[in-house]
């Protein structure tokens, strides 16, 4: 089992590199951007960003998910290349045609989405629709081969170009929300073209219809579910922007940026997990790994969520302009929501392994309904409400509903013996430390932050006192840390991508 965990950590760390750098720079530049973009402009840009990602799910028509799943069906390199070319060509055609059509109706679309006429802002989002979707497909090709070094270089280039373009457009040219979108998506478009050249053996504009039909049979059922899941993030932002307050939507957008300290971990897991999970031939070994990974994932992300909950006020004060301080109210809930989303990815892989992706839709639909209902109850348009904190709570409630429904629908398809006792113990410790710290400790000043940092140290103490870690886990953790240091040294010395694992990954089971 240790071999699989090493692979997950190695590839996950590589896929996190770009996000870590990007989000780190984003946090550093928040004081700059929040002083050049109004809360309403920030809310508009973020609303369009989520609309782009939602639309891209439909334009991928499920071939990205199918490509990753079918890639591991056999080891025929010619067949793998053919599937890759078909997937790339399909996404290239759907995004190009959709972008051209959207440009024609940019004015009408801006009124529909934003509530006012701004076709130029919509055009910036359309660039993102094409660039983001094709970039995701190109990254998928690097991930299936675990080409971690190439992924790091590509994501690093994307970060550098994004910062350069965005600073030039927002700070120097004063383009506000348009600069935020065009700086981000313009950089992605450049990286897409570069990756197409690097992956030219697998790039084509010719679709193999036989392969496409097979991928659509697998992938199309995932589209409504994926769209419903992402619609959770669209619903809260659009509800706040259109029906509650433009300024509140801007604060919520900044809170989301701060919550990406958890999202970075989730994104690395989301990229590294499916290729590893599908590559395991033994169902018994896969079930044991899925259970163990679920526990460790909750541990790793949960500690960060507690830190965000306790220190969120100081983070916002330090990095955002004063008019955005209200963002701290939603920050803990959004960090928790990303953790719940990561747990949902474990369930998604279960249905993918069983090739019954149609089961995803009921869970996603249940989550969307719960989200909308909670938004209307907790953040009504008038009267007493919880504001942006209520929107964050609504998102968490939606993910909880999805996890419950998905587990009920999949437990007979692929039995995974989740470690319920350890999961409950972990949730109790993390939740108890976060809630008690928020209720008992000061909310400002040096004394407040010092006491909260000390309070955070209760988490490892309680984990040890309650014997959360078994003896074999402690010894394997030490071995993983030693191996991780060796791999970092190897990478710095200039040795290629993540190496193949010669050892038997099942020997520790």
pLDDT for the residue 334: 92
For residue 425, pLDDT over 90 is answered with: yes
Decide if 477 is inside a domain. Answer: no
The confidence band for 488, taking pLDDT boundaries of 50, 70 and 90, is low
CB atoms within 10 A of CB 147: 20
| Highest mean predicted confidence (pLDDT) among 29-43, 121-135, 413-427 | 121-135
Boundaries of domain holding 132: 2-418
Number of domains in the chain: 1
Decide if 103 is inside a domain. Answer: yes
Question: Under DSSP, is residue 51 helix (H, G, I), strand (E, B) or coil?
Answer: helix
Tens digit of pLDDT for each residue in 369-395? Answer: 999 899 888 888 765 578 889 999 999
Decide if 437 is inside a domain. Answer: no
Tell me which residue of 350, 353, 306 sits closest to 460, measured CA to CA. Answer: 306
Tens digit of pLDDT for each residue in 41-98? Answer: 877 887 888 888 888 888 888 887 778 777 766 667 777 788 888 888 899 999 999 9
Task: Provide the H-helix boundaries in 330-456.
Answer: 331-354, 360-378, 387-410, 420-440, 445-456
Mean pLDDT of 309-326: 86
Burial of 101 (0-12, 13-18, 19+ CB in 10 A): exposed
Q: Which residue has the higher pLDDT, 163 or 413?
A: 163
Burial of 225 (0-12, 13-18, 19+ CB in 10 A): buried
Question: What pTM was estimated for this model as a whole?
Answer: 0.67
Under DSSP, the state recorded for 498 is S
Decide if 100 is inside a domain. Answer: yes
With b meaning 16 or more CB within 10 Å and e meaning fewer, what string describes 51-88?
bbbbbbbebbbbbbbbbbbbbbeeeeeeebebbbbbbb
Decide if 144 is inside a domain. Answer: yes
With b meaning 16 or more CB within 10 Å and e meaning fewer, what string describes 459-478?
beebbeeeebeeeeeeebee
The confidence band for 29, taking pLDDT boundaries of 50, 70 and 90, is low
Decide if 447 is inside a domain. Answer: no
Decide if 91 is inside a domain. Answer: yes
Q: Which of 103-107, 255-259, 325-329 has the lowest mean pLDDT?
A: 255-259
Instruction: Extract the tokens encoding 374.
Output: 């909670």
The confidence band for 9, taking pLDDT boundaries of 50, 70 and 90, is low
What is the C-alpha radius of gyration for the chain, rounded to an integer number of angstroms? Answer: 22
The confidence band for 428, taking pLDDT boundaries of 50, 70 and 90, is very high
Tens digit of pLDDT for each residue in 438-487? Answer: 999 998 888 899 999 999 999 999 998 998 887 777 777 677 677 767 76
Tens digit of pLDDT for each residue in 237-266? Answer: 888 887 777 788 888 888 888 887 787 777
For residue 104, pLDDT over 60 is answered with: yes
Within 8 A by CB and 6+ apart from 84, the residues are 67, 71, 141, 199, 202
Which residue, chain included where needed, has tokens 């997990």?
Answer: 273
Mean pLDDT of 414-426: 87
Decide if 35 is inside a domain. Answer: yes
Task: Provide the H-helix boundaries in 145-241.
Answer: 148-166, 176-198, 209-219, 222-239
Q: What percent of the chain has pLDDT over 90?
A: 20
pLDDT for the residue 426: 93
For residue 354, pLDDT over 80 is answered with: no
For residue 305, pLDDT over 60 is answered with: yes
């Amino acid at each position: 089992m240790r071999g699989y965990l090493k692979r997950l950590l190695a590839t996950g760390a590589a896929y996190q590199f770009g996000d870590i750098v990007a989000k780190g720079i984003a946090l550093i530049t928040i004081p700059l951007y929040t002083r050049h973009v109004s809360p309403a402009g920030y809310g508009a840009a973020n609303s369009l960003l989520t609309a782009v990602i939602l639309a891209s799910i439909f334009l991928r028509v499920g071939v990205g998910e199918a490509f990753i799943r079918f890639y591991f069906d056999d080891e025929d390199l010619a067949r793998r290349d053919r599937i890759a070319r078909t997937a790339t060509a399909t996404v290239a055609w759907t995004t190009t045609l959709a972008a051209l059509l959207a440009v024609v109706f940019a004015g009408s679309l801006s009124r529909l989405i934003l509530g006012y006429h701004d076709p130029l802002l919509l055009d910036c989002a359309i660039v993102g629709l094409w660039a983001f979707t094709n970039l995701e497909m190109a990254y998928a090709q690097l991930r299936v081969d675990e080409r971690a070094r190439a992924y790091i270089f590509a994501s690093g280039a994307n970060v550098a170009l994004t910062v350069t373009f965005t600073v030039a457009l927002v700070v120097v040219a004063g383009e506000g929300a348009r600069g935020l979108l065009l700086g981000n998506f313009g950089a992605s478009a450049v990286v897409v073209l570069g990756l197409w050249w690097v992956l030219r053996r697998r790039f084509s504009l010719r679709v193999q219809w036989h392969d496409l039909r097979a991928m659509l049979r697998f992938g199309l059922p995932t589209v409504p579910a994926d769209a419903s899941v992402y619609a959770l993030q669209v619903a809260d932002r659009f509800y706040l922007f259109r029906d509650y307050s433009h300024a509140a939507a801007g604060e919520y957008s900044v809170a989301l940026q701060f919550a990406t300290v958890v999202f970075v971990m989730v994104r690395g897991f989301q990229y590294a997990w499916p290729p590893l999970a599908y590559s395991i031939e033994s169902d018994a070994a896969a079930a044991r790994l899925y259970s163990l990974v679920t526990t460790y994932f909750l541990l790793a992300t949960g500690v960060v969520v507690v830190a965000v909950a306790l220190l969120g006020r100081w983070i916002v004060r330090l990095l955002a302009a004063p008019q955005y301080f209200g963002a701290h109210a939603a920050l803990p809930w959004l960090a928790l929501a990303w953790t719940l989303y990561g747990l949902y990815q474990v369930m998604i892989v279960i249905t993918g392994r069983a090739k019954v992706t149609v089961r995803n839709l009921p869970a996603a639909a249940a989550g969307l309904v719960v989200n909308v209902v909670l938004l209307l109850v907790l953040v009504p348009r008038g009267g007493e409400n919880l504001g942006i904190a209520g929107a964050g709570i609504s998102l968490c409630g939606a993910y909880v509903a999805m996890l419950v429904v998905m587990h009920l629908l999949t437990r007979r398809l692929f039995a995974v013996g989740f470690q319920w006792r350890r999961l409950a113990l972990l949730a109790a410790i993390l939740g108890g430390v976060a809630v008690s710290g928020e209720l008992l400790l000061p909310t400002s000043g040096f004394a407040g932050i010092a006491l909260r940092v000390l309070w955070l140290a209760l988490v490892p103490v309680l984990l040890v006192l309650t014997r959360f870690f078994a003896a074999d886990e402690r010894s394997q953790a030490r071995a993983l840390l030693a191996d991780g240091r060796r791999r970092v040294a190897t990478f710095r010395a200039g040795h290629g991508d993540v190496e193949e694992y010669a050892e038997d990954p099942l020997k520790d089971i």
